[in-house]
Chains A and B, each alone.
Chain A
């Protein structure tokens, strides 16, 4: 007891809250030891926010598990040391460990709904934290109510009585955060806390965390694959690659001036500062993540590094000092910013969208209602949209906006409500697939978000790509073989991939198969439904470049659906913004992004964290996205609109989708000149 007491004595104020020294974490799989983390060293100071960035397989979650000593049974810290508030979690006995978990360290995870016990009311679950600290039941409930108010839950008394499934994602995450800070921890670990949330909700939660941090004296470890979020939330950053911390430093400096080839490559694969496809290509990182337990000599990034030389392959680079508080594990860190590009910066532009009045697809009055009389949910309401030949139309919206439903109606997977018109090349399209001709089926195809779901895992790649060639293009024999070879080459795969099953391919390769399949029949319009959301950042760029190339080569039109506004802005010629099943704005990409734009678009843009620093005037949306089963009256956005007119017209009348400038439509009562002056020129650049 006394020994633990000594270990538990708080360290001096200048000592860091968290100190990790040369930590190795090993997993034992089927008798083999695999290193998941290698020589990881970092510090988090008091009241400091430290970001850990990495793609899937980098080991970032393992760091969090090691800190709380919650590694799975087959994992262990095989080397190095950890110190939290001066205490060593690895040396603690069970009781002290529980004490540490209860009072010193708290965690917030990715899926808030699942992190809460579905059978216990949320109030009780939060109160439990106080009770563990020795507080009586009644007082615990009172303090819970206060804490829920603190995380900006309105009407906390009522929310306390609810079960987790009755809460929205954003509210559930607030409850989890409340639970985490109720213990007044010294260290708060957040592991992808907002990845599952909508953009506007994410912004609110991130603001909440930032606010709380200043208020309490808590250090934060923020783990994410999203560089922009890390840039927004963290003072210092560490970049994890394949279990190694390859670079560390103050966030702003690191992102503006990276000093490790991996960081450089990563940053180049994301569109920055409003980058558009005609300004330059996204760069990619060649090669692949080494498989876990890959034993190598030398720098772990060397196989993929264009700057690699003999020295790099022979010995593991130590952490070099690259500036005050900055380190980089690279022999050639001074040359890193000059990293040669993998893909040429200039690119063949797809032919500009032809400005004819002859759109390739037309939707008029398209609505879609799900459910019976009582629980009718309007997923789409009165959509009028033209898709121009050869363009990339970006479709943007949060959950419940109806963007996926719109795509499915266009494709014929879901029939629209009666009185809807959907036309392709001037010819009406039947509501369902059986009512469409083979030519029409050929013309409209889709690339789905998740290749694991979109490819039949029992079929070989050859079979998957050949099917549309046979069924839609009607090819056979040598014509078929030639076209197959051609397709495989154009998606940059190799012949030997044809014999494999999807399970044996990486995410990027699988998505290429899906793309090859979509293009097999020679479509005219391809719907891309979040084609890169399930992929790592470094792979995204390659896929996007591929899509852009194919568009130029095959002369197709894209309907590009994404929640990632940076990507949409990069790739799209025109943008359509959906909210609760209604089109809020349609217009040329630049106009929609720089303004003047719809207040919702404005809020959406300002909610999305950007790598390039915060826009000075953030529009903060309050409240939750209304339920589609019970939409607000008048303009459906009025309940959250910061620019709502005082005349009350926004509550009573729904504005029409009107052309406010040539080619730019908006659904808003505010006249465009007023919007222009309110929003200033070029907000959220």
Chain B
């Protein structure tokens, strides 16, 4: 006869408390992440405290000292009207680090909302909006942005708005795909069965699960935003003529490259490159960590 004993509960948590480090700890272990953050931090400091750090006044023109090669007095040399390139590079971080992030935030917020709606609700809305988005995207983003800036002027606000709005459909497309994947899962049906309405399902149920995707997308777009702002400045549509602006400085000075005066062009260019690379190192690390 089988002996009957009382059921031992013994219901321990099966998987031992996963020895998983929180995401940010994992990130700090990656040299690419740390490197990227350091670069970004450097430029952020320059953006905020630029005027205090810069050795010379970035706006001061000393026409007799123009086009001087890098020396101990002017580490990066001087430009065509005698301004110290190093100071201009340091202070120039400000504009780009205001416009680009704000534009990206705008695009991300709008793009996320749009992507959630299109991905979850689908249907007619998706088809119609899809057509419009395709029309906008029929041209490369840079050109579209360029056209709008030419038409509307290149103030900081305009650039933020235009870049933000053009990024919205691009970000929405990525969010939409991620949302469509989530929509296959059953927890959404459970939420519907509770009587939850679409809005709540999108923002309370789905959004937390696509946040990682959005975060990565944000860093990628930030890189592109900086790319775009710099390019616009190079094409002559910089934000503000008076404050130092990397792209505008390049625009102003590259004509004399042929004569051998390369420093006023190269150093701002390297600054742009380093900033974008920094962001991409950070973004790439985040993506790797989130992918598990």
Q: Which residues on A are within 8 Å of B, measured CB to CB? A: 284, 286-289, 291, 304, 306, 338-345, 411-413, 433, 438, 441, 444-446, 448, 450, 453-459, 467-468, 471-472, 492-494, 496-497, 500, 503-506, 508-509, 517, 521
- Assembly CA distance A342 to B186 (angstroms): 33
Q: How far is the CB of B42 from chain A (nearest CB, A)?
A: 33
Q: Please name the residue on chain A nearest to B18 by beta carbon.
A: A504
- Assembly CA distance A339 to B5 (angstroms): 11
Cross-chain contact of B193 among A339, A433, A509 (Cβ < 8 A): A433
B192 close to chain A: CB less than 8 A:
yes
Q: Given that A291-B16, A454-B187, A503-B18 are contacting pairs, would A467 and B11 also be in contact in the complex, using a CB cutoff of 8 Å?
A: no
23 pairs, CB–CB < 8 Å, chain A vs chain B: A284-B7, A286-B7, A286-B10, A287-B10, A291-B16, A339-B2, A340-B3, A341-B4, A341-B5, A344-B4, A444-B193, A446-B190, A453-B184, A453-B185, A453-B187, A454-B190, A455-B187, A456-B187, A456-B209, A492-B11, A506-B14, A509-B14, A521-B194
Contact A441 B15 (CB under 8 A): no
Cross-chain contact of A288 among B9, B12, B205 (Cβ < 8 A): B12
Q: Please name the residue on chain A nearest to B190 by beta carbon.
A: A454
Cross-chain contact of A341 among B2, B9, B11, B17 (Cβ < 8 A): B2
- Assembly CA distance A535 to B99 (angstroms): 52
Contact A505 B14 (CB under 8 A): yes
Extra A-B contacts (4), CB below 8 Å, given A453-B184, A454-B190: A453-B187, A457-B209, A472-B194, A472-B195
Contact B5 A441 (CB under 8 A): no
Residues of chain B in range 240-262 having any CB-CB distance to chain A below 8 Å: none
Contact B2 A345 (CB under 8 A): yes
Q: Given that A342-B7, A446-B193 are contacting pairs, would A454 and B14 also be in contact in the complex, using a CB cutoff of 8 Å?
A: no
Contact B186 A453 (CB under 8 A): yes
Q: Given that A341-B3, A433-B193, A471-B194 are contacting pairs, would A289 and B10 also be in contact in the complex, using a CB cutoff of 8 Å?
A: no
- Assembly CA distance A271 to B163 (angstroms): 64
Can you list the 9 inter-chain pairs with the closest CB atoms, starting with the nearest? A506-B14, A458-B208, A454-B186, A340-B3, A453-B185, A456-B187, A448-B186, A453-B186, A288-B14
- Assembly CA distance A325 to B9 (angstroms): 37
- Assembly CA distance A345 to B5 (angstroms): 10
Q: Please name the residue on chain A nearest to B1 by beta carbon.
A: A338
B140 close to chain A: CB less than 8 A:
no
Contact A338 B11 (CB under 8 A): no
B64 close to chain A: CB less than 8 A:
no
Contacts of B191 in A (CB 8 A): 456
- Assembly CA distance A508 to B205 (angstroms): 23
Contact B5 A450 (CB under 8 A): no
Contact B190 A471 (CB under 8 A): no
Cross-chain contact of B13 among A459, A468, A497 (Cβ < 8 A): A497
Cross-chain contact of A468 among B3, B186, B194, B208 (Cβ < 8 A): B194
Contacts of B184 in A (CB 8 A): 453
Q: How far is the CB of A412 from chain B (nearest CB, A)?
A: 8
Q: Please name the residue on chain B nearest to A497 by beta carbon.
A: B13
Contacts of A517 in B (CB 8 A): 190
- Assembly CA distance A476 to B189 (angstroms): 24
- Assembly CA distance A445 to B191 (angstroms): 11
B8 close to chain A: CB less than 8 A:
yes
Q: How far is the CB of B183 from chain A (nearest CB, A)?
A: 11
Convert B184-224 into 0s and 1s, putting 1 for each residue whose CB lies closer than 8 angstroms to a CB of A. Answer: 11110111111110000000010011000000000000000
Contacts of A494 in B (CB 8 A): 11
Q: How far is the CB of B200 from chain A (nearest CB, A)?
A: 10
Q: Please name the residue on chain B nearest to A521 by beta carbon.
A: B194
Contact B13 A504 (CB under 8 A): yes
Cross-chain contact of B14 among A289, A338, A444 (Cβ < 8 A): A289
Contacts of A493 in B (CB 8 A): 11
- Assembly CA distance A344 to B3 (angstroms): 9
- Assembly CA distance A454 to B196 (angstroms): 15
Convert B14-57 into 0s and 1s, putting 1 for each residue whose CB lies closer than 8 angstroms to a CB of A. Answer: 11111000000000000000000000000000000000000000
Q: Given that A497-B13, A508-B14 are contacting pairs, would A471 and B196 also be in contact in the complex, using a CB cutoff of 8 Å?
A: yes
Contacts of B186 in A (CB 8 A): 448, 450, 453-454
Q: How far is the CB of B199 from chain A (nearest CB, A)?
A: 13
Cross-chain contact of B192 among A304, A433, A450, A457 (Cβ < 8 A): A433
- Assembly CA distance A287 to B7 (angstroms): 11
Q: Given that A454-B186, A455-B187 are contacting pairs, would A338 and B2 also be in contact in the complex, using a CB cutoff of 8 Å?
A: yes
Contacts of A342 in B (CB 8 A): 5, 7-8
Q: Please name the residue on chain A nearest to B209 by beta carbon.
A: A458
Contact A506 B15 (CB under 8 A): yes
Q: How far is the CB of B185 from chain A (nearest CB, A)?
A: 4
Contacts of A413 in B (CB 8 A): 189, 192-193
Q: How far is the CB of A433 from chain B (nearest CB, A)?
A: 6
Contacts of B13 in A (CB 8 A): 496-497, 500, 504-506, 509
- Assembly CA distance A505 to B18 (angstroms): 10
- Assembly CA distance A444 to B8 (angstroms): 33
Contact A445 B209 (CB under 8 A): no
Cross-chain contact of B190 among A448, A500, A508 (Cβ < 8 A): A448
Contacts of A521 in B (CB 8 A): 194
Q: Please name the residue on chain A nearest to B207 by beta carbon.
A: A458
- Assembly CA distance A450 to B8 (angstroms): 27
Q: How far is the CB of A616 from chain B (nearest CB, A)?
A: 31
Q: Please name the residue on chain A nearest to B211 by beta carbon.
A: A458
- Assembly CA distance A339 to B3 (angstroms): 8
Q: Given that A286-B10, A288-B12, A508-B14 are contacting pairs, would A340 and B2 also be in contact in the complex, using a CB cutoff of 8 Å?
A: yes
Q: How far is the CB of B201 from chain A (nearest CB, A)?
A: 10
Residues of chain B in range 121-179 having any CB-CB distance to chain A below 8 Å: none
Contacts of A445 in B (CB 8 A): 193
Q: Please name the residue on chain B nearest to A343 by beta carbon.
A: B7
- Assembly CA distance A506 to B17 (angstroms): 11
Contact B3 A467 (CB under 8 A): no
Q: Specify which of B7, B184, B190, B205 lies most central, judged by the most chain A CB atoms within 10 Å of its CB.
A: B190
Q: How far is the CB of B213 from chain A (nearest CB, A)?
A: 13
Contact B193 A338 (CB under 8 A): no
Contact A504 B190 (CB under 8 A): no
Contact B195 A441 (CB under 8 A): yes
Cross-chain contact of B195 among A433, A450, A508 (Cβ < 8 A): A433
Q: Please name the residue on chain A nearest to B192 by beta carbon.
A: A433
Contacts of B12 in A (CB 8 A): 287-288
- Assembly CA distance A304 to B14 (angstroms): 13
- Assembly CA distance A503 to B208 (angstroms): 15
Q: How far is the CB of A28 from chain B (nearest CB, A)?
A: 16
Contacts of B190 in A (CB 8 A): 446, 448, 454, 517
Q: How far is the CB of A617 from chain B (nearest CB, A)?
A: 34
Q: Given that A291-B16, A506-B14 are contacting pairs, would A438 and B7 also be in contact in the complex, using a CB cutoff of 8 Å?
A: no
- Assembly CA distance A345 to B195 (angstroms): 40
Q: Specify which of B3, B8, B11, B15 lies most central, judged by the most chain A CB atoms within 10 Å of its CB.
A: B11
Contact A505 B194 (CB under 8 A): no
Q: How far is the CB of A270 from chain B (nearest CB, A)?
A: 16
Q: How far is the CB of B13 from chain A (nearest CB, A)?
A: 7
- Assembly CA distance A458 to B191 (angstroms): 14
Contact B14 A345 (CB under 8 A): no
- Assembly CA distance A287 to B59 (angstroms): 74
Contact A340 B5 (CB under 8 A): yes
Q: How far is the CB of A235 from chain B (nearest CB, A)?
A: 30
Q: Please name the residue on chain A nearest to B16 by beta carbon.
A: A291
Contacts of A444 in B (CB 8 A): 193
Contacts of B195 in A (CB 8 A): 433, 438, 441, 471-472
Contacts of B187 in A (CB 8 A): 453-456
Q: Please name the residue on chain B nearest to A294 by beta carbon.
A: B16
- Assembly CA distance A509 to B11 (angstroms): 9
Q: How far is the CB of A120 from chain B (nearest CB, A)?
A: 28
